[in-house]
């Protein structure tokens, strides 16, 4: 794996209270790292240290690229931005010294990448929380970015906005970005994240890959005319979300063990369900996800 940054023995105290102790790990190209831990365990502090917004007391951060561009998105999203995304991003880019020409091209690319072209002339204060979150990530990416640091990017988003944002993050990863994020809604991130780091008792613990459970699952999204039709399947479906659609059918988002998938698909097809998506998931490090 191509390491872009090494975090070496980072320690931090606030007012004599130890927050981080010898945090050590590497960030690789195209890697998505989730940092999890209890409230107040030091996740945001570690992100700010990586983003060079807060100094560590000791330790070092070694960049493996001469110019490593970092984009940072804080947890709190400003709520009353009276600009359109285009105006806002233009201002933010100008402050950073980008030219109008550079910005025009970049903003167009970002609006397309984040599926916000249709909202380019709408003021941000009229946006949903998910759309605002996207604009915040876009502003962090105005310059070519190698590493995106996102503090609780999914916090407060409804399931649809969460899965929309996850899809965008996955596209960013495919384009070569590395991402370090903190999260509470860890279940939803299982198929996105490559590595989970846990902050426990001030220490960053990296899960040992030799102990990873490898329980393959599939995420299945289907549409069915009545909820009762899946009653007999409930013991083997791990239902995440059920919603009534405008056409009177139900959309069900569920996880299912790989070995149960074929018979369930067959049964659903007999019941005239329409299968919308089937995505394989490698449920790594589940032991950590379930703790938070």
Ligand X SMILES: Nc1ncnc2c1ncn2[C@@H]1O[C@H](COP(=O)(O)OP(=O)(O)OP(=O)(O)O)[C@@H](O)[C@H]1O
Q: Give the footprint of ligand X on this chain (CB under 6 A).
A: 14-15, 19, 37, 39-45
Number of residues assigned to the chain: 292
- Nearer of residues 39 and 209 to ligand X, judged by Cβ: 39
Burial 128-167 (b: 16+ CB within 10 A, else e): eebbbbbbbbbbbbbeebbbbbbbbbbbebeeebbbbbbe
- CA-CA distance, 138 to 128, in Å (whole number)? 15
- CA-CA distance, 35 to 196, in Å (whole number)? 6
- Nearer of residues 39 and 67 to ligand X, judged by Cβ: 39
Cβ at position 18, least distance to ligand X in Å: 10
CB 223 within 8 A of CB 276: yes
- Nearer of residues 31 and 41 to ligand X, judged by Cβ: 41
Residue 155, Cα to own-chain centre: how many angstroms? 10
- Nearer of residues 40 and 78 to ligand X, judged by Cβ: 40
Cβ at position 180, least distance to ligand X in Å: 13
- Nearer of residues 37 and 71 to ligand X, judged by Cβ: 37
Question: How is 66-113 classified by DSSP, letter by letter?
Answer: SS--EEEE-SSPPS---S-HHHHHHHHHHHTT--HHHHHHHHHHHHHH
- Nearer of residues 42 and 85 to ligand X, judged by Cβ: 42
Residue 235, Cα to own-chain centre: how many angstroms? 29
Cβ neighbours for 29, distance < 8 A, ≥ 6 positions apart: 1, 2, 3, 4, 146, 176, 178
Cβ at position 149, least distance to ligand X in Å: 12
Cβ at position 186, least distance to ligand X in Å: 12
CB 155 within 8 A of CB 75: yes
Cβ at position 35, least distance to ligand X in Å: 8
SS3 59: strand
Cβ at position 14, least distance to ligand X in Å: 3
Cβ at position 75, least distance to ligand X in Å: 6
- Nearer of residues 20 and 103 to ligand X, judged by Cβ: 20
Neighbours of 285 (CB within 10 A): 23
């Amino acid at each position: 794996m191509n390491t872009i940054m090494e975090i070496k023995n980072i320690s931090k105290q606030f007012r004599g209270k130890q927050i981080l102790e010898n945090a050590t790990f590497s960030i690789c190209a195209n890697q998505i790292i989730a940092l999890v831990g209890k409230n107040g365990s030091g996740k945001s502090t570690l992100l700010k240290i990586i983003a060079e917004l807060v100094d560590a007391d000791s330790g070092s951060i070694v960049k493996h690229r001469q110019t490593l561009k970092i984009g940072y998105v804080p947890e709190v999203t400003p709520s009353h931005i009276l600009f359109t995304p285009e105006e806002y991003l233009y201002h933010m880019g100008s402050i950073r010294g980008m030219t109008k020409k550079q910005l025009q091209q970049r903003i167009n690319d970002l609006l397309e990448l984040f599926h916000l072209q249709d909202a380019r002339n709408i003021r941000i204060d009229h946006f949903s929380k998910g759309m605002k979150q996207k604009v915040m990530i876009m502003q962090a990416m105005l310059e070519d970015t190698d590493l995106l640091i996102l503090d609780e990017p999914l916090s407060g988003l409804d399931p649809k906005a969460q899965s929309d944002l996850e899809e965008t993050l996955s596209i960013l990863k495919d384009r070569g970005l590395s991402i370090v994020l903190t999260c509470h809604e860890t279940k939803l991130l299982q198929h996105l994240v490559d590595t989970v780091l846990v902050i426990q008792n001030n220490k960053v613990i990296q899960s040992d890959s030799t102990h990873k459970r490898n329980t393959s699952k599939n995420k299945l999204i289907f549409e069915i005319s009545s909820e009762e039709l899946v009653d007999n399947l409930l013991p083997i479906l791990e239902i995440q979300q059920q919603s009534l659609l405008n056409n009177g059918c139900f959309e069900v988002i569920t996880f299912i063990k790989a070995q149960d998938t074929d018979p369930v698909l067959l049964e659903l097809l007999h019941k005239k369900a329409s299968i919308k998506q089937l995505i394989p998931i490698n449920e790594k490090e589940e032991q950590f996800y379930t703790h938070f």
